[in-house]
């Protein structure tokens, strides 16, 4: 491990070799929007919201999986990045059926908040309006495919933290679907421990607690770090924070 | 606009009228608005024909049938600025929940499966406007100059947008004023 | 598919295809009689793996899988990587539309690939190799399985090859029909038994590839060039081609030409010569465009026909890619072509990242509107904005190249897109311009 100096948004910052641009930016309080990123789980890199510009590279790069380099000059906000991030979000809203007004997650949704934050106020491309099922077979939770953005957070936290490996991605491209136990209704899964980790880390209303009605679902996003930091707690004695994943903006309820 | 009042219109397409309710909730700010603007067309004003030479039109609702389509086009031709007013106009929202169901199936489900008769569905039926195959947000049918999301947009949001449009104040950058839902 | 028979020395030079069509691909004796395993024998005797890297580097071999990465450098990276286990992987997933070069090699000269992989293993220090074969290539699978068995029986594969103390075992793995599994990191995921999805680079496979080990991934055509280079020397290889792209390349010539097939030519040959002298001219009308490099490549307009085809001309706009050249005459519609290409990417996107997963579907939807006569100029402008965005922001090469034909088409044939979008007219009279469900509402097609 050696210390690396670089510049982010004209600020001189430093990180350890092997760290990513995103992690160094966050440590220095420089915000970069993300959706699929999940602190405490492996990097995915699929949402493309964390794109940043690096001097000398023609196209933007994703901050979550680009390692820092000495002397690197990174820009996190520019008109071009804003336009690209807006279109990423427009594509997400066009892909499935996101009706914020009647969603359980309204007011506490990371997709909704990311769009507002990025300045996306309408979707230019055609809505695809697919016909997608809702899996309510689980006793406590519901999976609504209409709101899934395929961020793989649930897949990763289930495999990497809970160790249950219940969730997988099936199908390709626009046909990709989240499936339990390689394709059984969630309620029939023999691996699911009903721990609820996926539910609370799902950024949207795709996974929610049964019985929650419009705008009633509040996700407990802080628990994962609490678990992971809790393992260290005995040593450090510090209280883990609960706000590591606050939505990028606070949304009126 | 000194002396002459600004010509303001609001229109109601495929929506629940909630956006107009929220507009009325501007309360005392309506008085301020009335000092500078004249409401020349609106569901709350008794005007049958969309007038010419409108300065600003706020459009509530998605484009769901041929009547909406016709009115939207008229609005565009006769207004200087058109704003999508509320989520249904901006995204299609609840009005577009039916988009994944083919129109004949939809009408069957609603009218034949349940009580009541099948409505007449000929395009030249003067009473029942034909449904479009899919419900569209306003900007996918006409050019739109401004977007005011929200279901409904709350009065503060509406007021910020109206001030921006009427008084030329910088459009609000606050993300709180921009969320869907 | 066929190769030119007989070889035409004024245009062709066969290195990768030297034995194809001339030997019995199911007989190791035939291969041995044609200099087979000579390079390997000599190398094992000299016991000098560094000499291979030097020869490959001096010869200037560049990857034929599409990206043109210098092969010598890649071999060097894996060779110097400090790890107890390394792997050699042959990318034989050949799924680029209109590209059949690897198939021809594997069907016609499978032993050459085996020899090349043993050499690669010896050079970089790997004792296990995998061939990731396109799922649909049944004959190639049969021939490779047979060749591996014969090579094992003859002592070229397995333990202590030819008494050298060197081990190398080779495994054949058939893909399941996904284009994305040709991308090297997705290929590695698939080989490991995971979903065929690309991974972040860095780390590159040369550092951390298959099961986290340093891994050499090379295309079939790249690999089979190595034994002849070792045999005859780098200068011999460089006798044809250009300074930046020495040697030869296999071109798959398709579409509106009088002769279609696979031909190996020196780098730097012009598209015009290929069409006129190999393809025997354009069929069915004047030349309109050439689509080069498969679906992920670009469009060569008639003005560029005399540019040399090599890796470096890519800067001028001629994308060589996989070596496919699809010739289109004046009766072809560029919007129709773009729509077909986008349908391919829409179906082949793995779904990992948003711009490619949704962007290809949106682009295809908008293009279909144009071909059906219900597009608008606004659709066209959105196509251009979104095409550039998908190219800029996608996770891997699939999404990055998916909009190439669209963006090149708009660059060279903008008027034709405008005719579709504004006038609802197909100048080439290919698109049906049928009114669809929206037909009852013709005024909708003109708004926006
Ligand atoms: C979407 C995609 C598909 C690809 N398909 C192939 C393929 O079918 N065969 C191949 O050799 N390389 C393919 N490649 C390139 C590989 O990722 C890799 O660069 C290549 O196998 C390296 O070998 P080379 O250096 O010999 O060219 C593909 C790349 C992308 C992005
Ligand atoms: S269900 Fe939620 S956490 Fe899982 S992939 Fe979909 S959006 Fe992400
Ligand atoms: S660009 Fe993205 S979605 Fe497309 S194939 Fe690559 S990783 Fe998958």
**pLDDT by residue (tens digit) across A52-84?**
999 999 999 999 999 999 999 999 999 999 999
Start and end residues for every CATH 3.30.70.20 domain found in chain A: 85-236
pLDDT at B112 over 80: no
Determine the angle formed by the axes of helices C110-124 and C71-80, rounding to 10 degrees.
Answer: 50
What is the average pLDDT value for chain B, to the nearest integer? 90
Give the per-residue pLDDT at C314.
Answer: 58
Domains of chain C: 28-238 (3.40.50.11540), 248-329 (3.10.20.600), 336-447 (1.20.1440.230)
The percent helix, strand, coil of chain B (3-state, each to 5) is: 40, 20, 40
C382 in contact with chain B, both atoms CB, cutoff 8 A? no
Closest CA to C288 of C326, C240, C248: C326
Q: Across the interface, do A46 and C385 touch by the CB < 8 Å criterion? A: no
- Which strand ranges, in their side-by-side order, compose the sheet holding C128-133? C169-174, C128-133, C87-92, C215-219
Give the per-residue pLDDT at B176.
Answer: 84
Start and end residues for every CATH 3.10.20.740 domain found in chain A: 3-77
Which residue lies with its CA nearest to atom 4 of ligand 2?
A154
C351 in contact with chain A, both atoms CB, cutoff 8 A? yes
**ipTM exceeding 0.90?**
yes
Dihedral angle sign, alpha carbons of residues A57, A60, A63, A64:
negative
Give the per-residue pLDDT at A233.
Answer: 47
φ, ψ for residue A236, nearest 5 deg: -85, -30
Q: In B, which residues are within 8 Å of C372 by CB distance?
A: none
Q: Is C372's C-beta closer than 6 angstroms to any atom of ligand 1?
A: no
User: Which CATH architecture best describes the domain A85-236?
Assistant: 2-Layer Sandwich (3.30)
Name the pLDDT band for C335 (thresholds 50, 70, 90): very high
Average pLDDT over residues B22-30: 97
φ, ψ for residue B60, nearest 5 deg: -90, 140
Name the pLDDT band for C5 (thresholds 50, 70, 90): low
Average pLDDT over residues C235-259: 95
Give the per-residue pLDDT at C442.
Answer: 37
In the reported structure, the alpha carbon of residue A35 is separated from the centroid of ligand 2 by a whole-number distance in angstroms of 10
Q: Is the CATH code 1.10.150.120 the one for domain A3-77?
A: no
Name the pLDDT band for B119 (thresholds 50, 70, 90): low
Name the pLDDT band for C101 (thresholds 50, 70, 90): very high
Q: In A, which residues are within 8 Å of C382 by CB distance?
A: 124-125
Give the distance from residue A87's alpha carbon to the nearest chain B alpha carbon, in angstroms: 15
Q: Across the interface, do B149 and A121 touch by the CB < 8 Å criterion? A: yes
Alpha-carbon separation of residue C87 from A137, C120, C174, C190, C217 (angstroms): 45, 10, 17, 15, 9
Closest CA to B160 of C2, A121, A3: A121
End-to-end CA distance of chain C: 47
Cβ atoms of residues C15 and C105 within 8 Å: no
Which ligand 1 atom lies nearest to the CA of residue C185?
17
**pLDDT by residue (tens digit) across B37-68?**
999 999 999 999 999 999 999 999 999 999 99
Residue C3: DSSP 8-state: B
pLDDT at C287 over 80: yes
Average pLDDT over residues C237-260: 94
Give the per-residue pLDDT at A224.
Answer: 85
Pocket test for ligand 3, best of C349, C358, C363, C392 (most atoms within 8 A of CB): C349
Give the per-residue pLDDT at C177.
Answer: 93
Alpha helices in A189-222 (DSSP H): 197-201
Rounded Cα gap, residues C180 and C192, in angstroms: 15
Closest CA to B18 of B73, B85, B113, B65: B85
Say if strands A73-75 and A3-8 run parallel, antiparallel, or are unpaired. parallel
Closest CA to C328 of C250, C256, C239: C256
Give the per-residue pLDDT at A35.
Answer: 97
pLDDT at B110 over 90: no
Cβ atoms of residues C189 and C35 within 8 Å: no
Class of domain B6-179: alpha beta
Give the per-residue pLDDT at A156.
Answer: 97
Q: For A122, name the nearest residue in chain B, comparing CA atoms only.
A: B90
More confident residue, C42 or C434: C42
pLDDT at C447 over 80: no
Q: Across the interface, do A84 and C393 touch by the CB < 8 Å criterion? A: yes
Taking chain A (253 residues) in consecutive chunks of 10 residues, what is each chunk's mean pLDDT? 94 96 96 94 97 97 97 97 98 97 95 94 96 97 98 97 97 98 98 96 97 91 80 45 39 37
Q: Across the interface, do B133 and C448 touch by the CB < 8 Å criterion? A: no
Say if strands A167-170 and C128-133 run parallel, antiparallel, or are unpaired. unpaired
Cβ atoms of residues C424 and C444 within 8 Å: no
The percent of residues in chain B predicted with pLDDT above 90, rounded, is: 73
Q: Across the interface, do B93 and A99 touch by the CB < 8 Å criterion? A: yes
């Amino acid at each position: 491990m050696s210390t690396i100096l670089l510049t982010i948004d004209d600020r001189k910052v430093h990180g350890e070799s092997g760290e990513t641009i995103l992690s160094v930016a966050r440590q220095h309080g420089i915000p970069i929007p993300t959706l699929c990123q999940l602190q405490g789980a492996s990097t995915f890199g699929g949402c493309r919201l964390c794109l940043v510009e690096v001097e000398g590279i023609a196209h933007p790069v994703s901050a979550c999986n680009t390692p820092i380099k000495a002397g690197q000059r990174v820009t996190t906000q520019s008109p071009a990045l804003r336009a690209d991030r807006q279109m990423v979000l427009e594509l997400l809203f066009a892909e499935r059926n996101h009706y914020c007004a009647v969603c359980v997650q309204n007011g506490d949704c990371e997709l909704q908040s990311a769009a507002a934050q990025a300045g996306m106020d309408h979707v230019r491309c055609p809505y695809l309006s697919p016909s997608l099922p809702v899996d309510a077979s689980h006793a406590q939770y519901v999976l609504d495919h209409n709101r899934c953005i395929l961020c793989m957070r649930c897949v990763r936290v289930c495999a990497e933290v809970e160790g249950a490996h219940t969730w997988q991605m099936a199908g390709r491209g626009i046909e990709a679907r989240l499936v339990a136990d390689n394709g059984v209704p969630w309620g029939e899964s023999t691996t699911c421990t009903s721990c609820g980790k996926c539910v609370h880390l799902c950024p949207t209303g795709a996974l929610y607690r049964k019985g929650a009605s419009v705008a009633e679902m509040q996700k407990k996003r802080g628990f994962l770090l609490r678990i992971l930091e809790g393992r260290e707690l005995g040593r450090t004695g510090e209280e883990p924070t609960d706000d590591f994943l606050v939505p990028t903006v606070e949304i009126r309820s | 606009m000194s002396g002459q009042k600004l010509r303001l219109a609001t229109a109601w397409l495929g929506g629940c009228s909630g956006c107009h309710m929220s507009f009325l909730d501007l309360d005392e700010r309506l008085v301020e608005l009335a000092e500078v603007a004249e409401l020349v067309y609106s569901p709350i004003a008794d005007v049958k024909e969309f007038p010419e030479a409108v300065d600003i039109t706020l459009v509530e609702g998605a484009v769901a049938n041929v009547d909406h389509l016709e009115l939207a086009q008229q609005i565009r031709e006769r207004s200087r600025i058109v704003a999508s007013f509320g989520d249904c106009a901006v995204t299609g929202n609840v009005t577009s929940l039916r988009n994944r169901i083919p129109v004949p199936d939809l009408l069957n489900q609603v009218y034949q499966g349940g009580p009541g008769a099948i409505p007449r569905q000929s395009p030249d039926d003067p009473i029942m406007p034909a449904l479009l195959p899919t419900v569209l947000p306003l900007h996918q049918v006409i050019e739109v100059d401004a977007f005011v999301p929200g279901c409904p947009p709350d009065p503060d949001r509406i007021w910020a947008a109206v001030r921006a449009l009427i008084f030329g104040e910088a459009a609000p950058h606050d993300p709180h004023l921009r969320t869907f839902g | 598919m066929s190769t030119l028979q007989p070889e035409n020395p004024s245009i062709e030079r066969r290195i990768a295809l030297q034995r194809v069509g001339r030997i019995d691909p199911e007989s190791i004796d035939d291969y041995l009689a044609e200099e087979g395993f000579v390079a390997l024998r000599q190398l094992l005797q000299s016991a000098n793996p560094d000499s291979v890297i030097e020869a490959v580097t001096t010869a200037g071999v560049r990857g034929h899988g599409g990206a043109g990465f210098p092969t010598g450098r890649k071999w060097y990276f894996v060779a110097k990587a400090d790890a107890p286990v390394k792997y050699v992987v042959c990318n034989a997933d050949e799924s680029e539309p209109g590209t059949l070069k690897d198939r021809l090699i594997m069907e016609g000269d499978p032993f050459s690939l085996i020899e090349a992989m043993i050499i690669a293993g010896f050079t970089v220090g790997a004792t296990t190799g995998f061939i990731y074969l396109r799922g649909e290539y049944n004959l190639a699978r049969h021939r490779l399985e047979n060749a591996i068995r014969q090579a094992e029986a003859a002592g070229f594969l397995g333990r202590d090859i030819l008494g050298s103390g060197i081990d190398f075992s080779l495994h054949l793995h058939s893909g399941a029909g996904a284009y994305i599994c040709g991308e090297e990191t997705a290929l590695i995921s698939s080989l490991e038994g995971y979903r065929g999805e690309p991974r972040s680079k860095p780390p590159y496979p040369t550092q951390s590839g298959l099961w986290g080990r340093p891994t050499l991934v090379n295309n079939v055509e790249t690999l089979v060039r190595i034994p002849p280079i070792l045999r005859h020397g780098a200068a011999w290889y460089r006798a044809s081609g250009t300074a930046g792209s020495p040697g030869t390349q296999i071109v798959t010539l398709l579409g509106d030409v009088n002769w279609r097939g696979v031909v190996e030519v020196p780098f730097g040959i012009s598209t015009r010569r290929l069409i006129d002298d190999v393809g025997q001219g354009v069929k069915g009308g004047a030349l309109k465009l050439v689509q080069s490099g498969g679906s992920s490549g670009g469009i060569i307009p008639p003005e560029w026909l005399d540019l040399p085809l090599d890796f470096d001309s890519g800067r001028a706009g001629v994308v060589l890619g996989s070596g496919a050249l699809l010739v289109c005459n004046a009766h072809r519609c560029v919007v129709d072509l773009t729509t077909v290409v986008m349908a391919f990417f829409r179906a082949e996107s793995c779904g990992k990242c948003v711009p490619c997963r949704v962007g290809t579907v949106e682009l295809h939807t908008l293009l279909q509107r144009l071909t059906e006569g219900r597009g608008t100029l606004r659709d066209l402008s959105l196509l251009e904005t979104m095409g550039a965005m998908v190219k800029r922001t996608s996770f891997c090469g699939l999404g990055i190249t998916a909009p190439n034909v669209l963006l090149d088409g708009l660059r060279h044939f903008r008027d034709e897109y405008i005719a579709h979008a504004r006038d609802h007219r197909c100048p080439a009279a290919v698109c049906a311009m049928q009114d669809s469900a929206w037909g009852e509402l013709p005024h909708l097609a003109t708004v926006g």
